[in-house]
Amino acid sequence: MLYILHYELTMSTTILVYSLLFCRIAIALVFASSFFGKLTDLHTVEETISQFDLFPKRFSHLAAWLLLGSELTVVLLMLLDGIWLGLGLTLAACLLLGFSLALASVLARKIRTSCNCFGASKKSVSTYDLWRNACFIACALGGCGAALSLKNVPIRPELWELSLTALAAIVFVGIATQLDEIAQLFRQV
């Protein structure tokens, strides 16, 4: 009986470790790709912020740099352990929630503009952007929960474990960022 209880605790700990690793990699990928996509065309980011019409246009340049700084901060925090990782996941969830509210505002006010969430794009903001962000918010919050549960558990995955988890995270991020195209494929069938 005692052996079974120990096995269950070990198994649940293992699941939490892999869950945290998955969330950590996925959030790092999301924010890194967003950061580098925006960094290559800062002028478009400023225009997008202006078109969202959430605050005076004269603050667009500052807002663009704050946005880039916050995204880079999340990426850097995903590389750290302990409280810093939890802080990074929490910051990611808060930023994604803020982005979602901005996107919902654009949709509600029927403003026709691109999201440019991952760099310059011609695609207009849609509800799929909100669904994508909901997936990423769930991932960040799941990572927060796993991080809290694993407070003092050392996490040192082997290379093959890291590779498989990274592959799963890449697939997840790829699918979530292409929800609108995937939905269109199903509509054509």
Distance between CA 176 and CA 135 in Å, rounded? Answer: 7
Assigned domain for 18 exists: no
Domain residue limits at 61? 23-188
| Both structure tokens of 153 | 């558990």
Pick left, alpha or beta for residue 87 (phi over 0 → left; psi -120 to 50 → alpha; otherwise beta). alpha
Assigned domain for 5 exists: no
Phi, psi (degrees; rounded to nearest 5) at 11: -65, -45
Distance between CA 8 and CA 86 in Å, rounded? Answer: 25
Assigned domain for 1 exists: no
Assigned domain for 88 exists: yes
Assigned domain for 16 exists: no
pLDDT per residue, tens digit, the chain (189 aa), is 445 444 555 777 888 889 999 999 999 999 999 999 989 888 888 888 888 888 888 998 899 999 999 999 999 999 998 899 999 999 999 999 999 999 999 999 888 988 878 877 778 888 999 999 999 999 999 999 999 888 766 667 788 888 999 999 999 999 999 988 888 888 776
Assigned domain for 17 exists: no
CA-closest candidate to residue 100, choices 66, 129, 67: 129
- Predicted TM-score (pTM) of the model is 0.89
